């Protein structure tokens, strides 16, 4: 099999570790990987961490890498994306460390949640001293060619930061911003997306001092931050992991990388909300469960406001006819087990 390292640029180029956690991602992961392999000016050490996907994610990856199934870019990708040469090697964690661009597959054997998957990838990549930046990227993302090198080179090798982000736009509407950085309402624990719904062409990126956290769909952690702070908190399962991480950054600042954009399909596997679509009961349950965990950890004096928000939001959802979402929210707020529909989705 042909190793992707054979088509990598010179060893003088910067290295960027990339962690992609997959779960039921067979329909999106190849667009993500192909867009990364097309990026110039950087050596990428990509690790795909699969959380026991119940679908064909693993077989799709293997047949793609072998060249058995030809790749054709999805019709909604707004830039040319020719297929990378095949076959290519999917490394295992026991293989010798690569010298250039590579893809490693880690199968965790369980669905321990987003943070558990990321932590497995971080632990693997941290063994390589050449990697000083770890990019956590959602599998339902497509990466414009310039973005990886921008993240790898931001501020130079001596730049000090905790977590770095760029701009996340919607793939179906590439000029529409999903998030430019996150904010926290410290009375309720509710998070917000800065510049949500605005035109990317007409909206400047914010200064890093205006944000409270970097969205986990595209988030670069420095080695200095990771070694000082430790891994992501796994108690959340989904949502708020990156919000928690950012609160533990100490004196290391957040950073925004100008021009570093990804295009995000948004919630393809868990039903996260978009501007056109309401959140699924699955998404609602885990988001508000995580919000309460976060509030208890970092904003305990705001718990009355957090409970009040939940009640008001549940009433609003019920009045809109979204009773399953309302019940999921209330169960999450009070630490109850997920509704049957959410349990069924977890056990698929």
What average pLDDT score do residues 205-211 get? Answer: 96
pLDDT of residue 2: 44
**Residue that wins the pLDDT comparison between 343 and 2:** 343
- pLDDT tens digits, residue range 120-144? 999 999 999 999 999 999 999 999 9
- Place 341 in a pLDDT band, splitting at 50, 70 and 90: confident
pLDDT > 90? residue 3: no
Q: Check: CB of residue 339 under 8 Å from CB of residue 328.
A: yes
Residue 15 and residue 152: Cα distance in Å, rounded?
7
What the block records as the tokens of 261 is 């954009």
SS3 166: strand
Average pLDDT of every residue of the chain: 93
Output the pLDDT for position 100. Answer: 85
| pLDDT classification of 12: cutoffs 50, 70, 90 | confident
CA-nearest of 148, 95, 124 to 259 is 148
> Which domains does the chain possess?
4-264 (3.90.550.60), 281-346 (no CATH)
pLDDT at site 305: 98
Report the DSSP beta bridge partners of residue 157. none
Average pLDDT over residues 273-291: 85
CA–CA distance, 75 with 45 (Å, rounded to integer):
27
Res. 344 pLDDT band, cuts 50 70 90: confident
Angle between helices 281-298 and 303-319 (to 10 degrees): 170
Write the pLDDT tens digit of every residue in 141-157: 999 999 999 999 999 98
| Predicted pLDDT at 97 | 74
pLDDT tens string 65-116:
999 999 999 999 999 999 999 999 999 999 987 788 999 999 999 999 999 9
* Conformational region of residue 266, where left means phi above 0, alpha means psi within -120 to 50, and beta covers everything else: left
Q: Which two tokens stand for residue 270?
A: 């868990």
Q: Supply 99's token pair.
A: 């010298």
Range in 61-75, 240-254, 276-290 the model is least confident about: 276-290
How far is C-alpha 276 from the chain's CA centre?
21
Per-residue pLDDT at 8: 43
Q: Which residue has the tokens 């199934």?
A: 69
Read off the tokens for 224. Answer: 């200095």
Task: Name the maximum alpha-carbon separation found in the chain.
Answer: 60
Residue range 222-239: mean pLDDT, rounded? 97
Query: What pLDDT score was predicted for residue 346?
Result: 72
Give the helix/strand (H/E) hosting 57: helix 57-66
Tally of CA atoms within 13 A in the half-sphere of 114 that contains its CB: 20
Q: Please name every residue paired with 134 in a beta bridge, in sequence order, or none if there are none.
A: 17, 221
Confidence category of residue 347, pLDDT binned at 50, 70, 90: low
Who has greater pLDDT, 7 or 177?
177
Percent of the chain exceeding pLDDT 70 equals 93
Q: Is the pLDDT of residue 276 over 70?
A: no
């Amino acid at each position: 099999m042909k190793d992707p390292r054979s088509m990598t640029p010179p060893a003088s180029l910067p290295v960027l570790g990339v962690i992609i956690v997959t779960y039921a991602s067979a329909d999106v992961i190849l667009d993500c990987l192909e867009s990364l392999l097309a990026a110039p000016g950087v050596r990428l050490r990509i690790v795909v961490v699969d959380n026991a996907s119940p679908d064909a994610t693993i077989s799709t990856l293997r047949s793609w890498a072998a060249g058995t199934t030809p790749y054709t870019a999805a019709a909604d990708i707004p830039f040319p994306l020719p297929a990378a040469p095949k076959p290519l090697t999917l490394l295992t964690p026991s293989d010798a460390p690569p010298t250039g661009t590579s893809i490693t597959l880690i199968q965790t054997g369980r669905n321990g949640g987003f943070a558990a998957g990321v932590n497995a990838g971080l632990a693997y990549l941290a063994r390589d001293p050449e990697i000083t930046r770890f990019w956590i990227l959602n599998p339902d993302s497509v990466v414009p060619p310039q973005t990886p090198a921008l993240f790898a080179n931001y501020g130079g090798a001596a730049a000090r930061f905790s977590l770095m982000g760029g701009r996340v736009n919607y793939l179906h509407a590439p000029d529409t911003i999903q998030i430019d950085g996150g904010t926290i309402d410290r009375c309720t624990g509710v998070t917000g997306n800065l510049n949500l719904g605005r035109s990317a062409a007409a909206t400047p990126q914010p200064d890093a001092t205006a944000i409270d956290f970097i969205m986990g769909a595209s988030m670069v952690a420095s080695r200095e931050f990771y070694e000082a702070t430790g891994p992501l908190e796994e108690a959340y399962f989904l949502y708020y992991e990156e919000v928690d991480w950012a609160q533990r950054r100490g004196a290391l600042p957040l950073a925004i990388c100008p021009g570093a954009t990804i295009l995000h399909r948004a919630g393809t596997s868990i039903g996260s909300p978009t501007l056109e679509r309401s959140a699924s009961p699955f998404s609602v349950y885990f988001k508000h469960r995580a919000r309460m965990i976060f509030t208890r950890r970092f904003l305990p004096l705001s718990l009355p406001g957090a409970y009040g928000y939940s009640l008001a939001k549940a009433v609003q959802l019920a009045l809109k006819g979204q009773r399953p979402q309302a019940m999921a929210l209330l169960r999450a707020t009070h630490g109850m087990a997920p509704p049957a529909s959410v349990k069924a989705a977890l056990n698929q």
